[in-house]
């Protein structure tokens, strides 16, 4: 599948979006180092030295069906990164797109940039065939929990005992319909996310 629009548009003035590749790992690592809040909250430690490279090249678990992993970054005019996201299309079922990671620079929190960039991602995904968004939020990461709830996501199950860095977390699996539909409709497509599935 080739995306009709290869990259999202960008509605935040002064930013441009591009697709991350291995050559961008040093820039992404610097972004992670400069914005440690996510890693401290979720991993209990700052980003590790190889964090960016792993984020760019890391494969999904064996047996997970998907079409493409797209790693996006938004840069300022001076080329410093302002945000990044990892989006997987058609994960586990057709039309289910997964947001693996979405980090906006700390100095852009509270001004609406994160919401605007998320809307750009959502519009792009829907225009390329997404009917559901899916993601995991670490229980207790209150900023992220509030953000995704406000964006219209709802929890379908929790997974416990997930090791992330120095922490063992409980992850809330959350979904959002992009073309109508109920939680039951979604769970019929994605058995893994049913609360009664191991």
**What pLDDT digit, counting tens, does each position of 168-195 carry?**
999 999 999 999 999 999 999 999 999 9
Say if 196 falls within a structural domain: no
| Total domains, the chain | 1
Structural domain includes residue 195: no
Rounded distance, CA 38 to CA 18, Å?
22
Q: Collapse the DSSP code of 116 into the 3-class scheme (helix H, G, I; strand E, B; otherwise coil) and give the result.
A: helix
Which ranges of 35-182 would DSSP assign to H, the alpha helix? 37-43, 51-57, 113-127, 142-150
Paired sense of beta strands 132-138 and 96-104, if any: parallel
- Give a yes or no: residue 5 inside a domain: no
Query: pTM to 2 decimals?
Result: 0.94
Residue 17 has a pLDDT of 97
Establish if 94 belongs to a structural domain.
yes
For residue 91, what are the domain limits? 16-190
* Assigned domain for 9 exists: no
Query: In CATH, what number is assigned to the domain containing residue 137?
Result: 3.40.630.30
Beta bridge partners of 157: 173
Examine residue 11 and state whether it is found in any structural domain, yes or no. no
Give pLDDT tens digits for 110-156: 999 999 999 999 999 999 999 999 999 999 999 999 999 999 999 99
What is the tens place of the pLDDT at every residue in 55-102? 999 989 999 999 999 999 999 999 999 999 999 999 999 999 999 999
Q: Alpha-carbon torsion 110, 137, 63, 185, what sign?
A: negative
Say what the pLDDT of residue 30 is: 97
């Amino acid at each position: 599948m080739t995306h009709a629009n290869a990259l999202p548009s960008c509605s935040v003035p002064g930013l441009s979006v591009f697709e991350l590749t291995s050559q961008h790992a040093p820039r992404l690592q610097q972004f992670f180092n400069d914005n440690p809040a996510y890693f401290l909250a979720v991993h209990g430690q700052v980003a590790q030295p190889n964090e960016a490279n792993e984020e760019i090249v890391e494969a999904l678990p064996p047996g997970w069906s998907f079409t493409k992993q797209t790693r996006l970054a938004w840069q300022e005019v001076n080329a410093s990164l302002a945000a990044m996201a990892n989006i997987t299309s058609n994960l586990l079922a057709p039309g289910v797109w997964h947001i693996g990671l979405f980090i906006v620079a700390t100095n852009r929190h509270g001004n609406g940039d994160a919401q605007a960039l998320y809307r750009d991602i959502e519009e792009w995904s829907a225009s390329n065939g997404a009917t559901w968004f899916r993601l995991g939020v670490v229980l207790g990461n209150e900023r992220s929990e509030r953000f995704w709830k406000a964006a219209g996501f709802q929890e379908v199950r929790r997974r416990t005992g997930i090791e992330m860095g120095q922490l063992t977390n409980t992850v809330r699996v959350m979904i959002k319909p992009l073309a109508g539909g109920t939680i039951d409709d979604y769970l019929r497509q994605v058995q893994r996310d049913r609360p009664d599935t191991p």
